[in-house]
Amino acid sequence: MGQRRGKFFDGHVAIIACDSDGIITGAEVLDGSGVWSRFHPVSSFLGRPLVGSSIFELLKLTEDLDKKEWKRWQGYIRALEALEVRLTDRELTREQEAFMETKRGKKGKKLR
């Protein structure tokens, strides 16, 4: 899951699911804000079909995006990165480590 916060109606929450090989099996997005917003299926990302694509190939496509385009697709990219972390057990980024520290506290105990 990844999100992009925006002003008024330009934010979104993306949920992407994949199998153990990193092949995307489904994707949904929640656009806008308010009580009338609903999740709806997404079929493409950056001009490529989303379902059936590899998360690793899609992440390579995002490396060439300029800042404005990256910001536009930020929720999708973060969801793909979260899947990559789970599949490859790679080290957490500084941003992710800082987030984990705020959730657990200094000694690793879970805060309430």
CB 84: neighbour CB atoms within 10 A? 17
Specify if 66 maps to a domain.
yes
pLDDT above 70 for 54: yes
Total domain count for the chain?
Answer: 1
Specify if 112 maps to a domain.
no
Specify if 7 maps to a domain.
yes
**Cβ atoms of 16 and 86 closer than 8 Å:** no
Specify if 111 maps to a domain.
no
Domain hosting 15: range is 2-104
Name the nearest CA neighbour of 88 among 27, 22, 23.
Answer: 22
- What is the identity of the amino acid at 86? R
Instruction: Specify the range with the lowest mean pLDDT, choosing from 32-36, 45-49, 52-56, 71-75.
Output: 32-36
Specify if 42 maps to a domain.
yes
Its pTM stands at: 0.67
The chain-wide mean pLDDT, for the chain, equals 76
Specify if 109 maps to a domain.
no
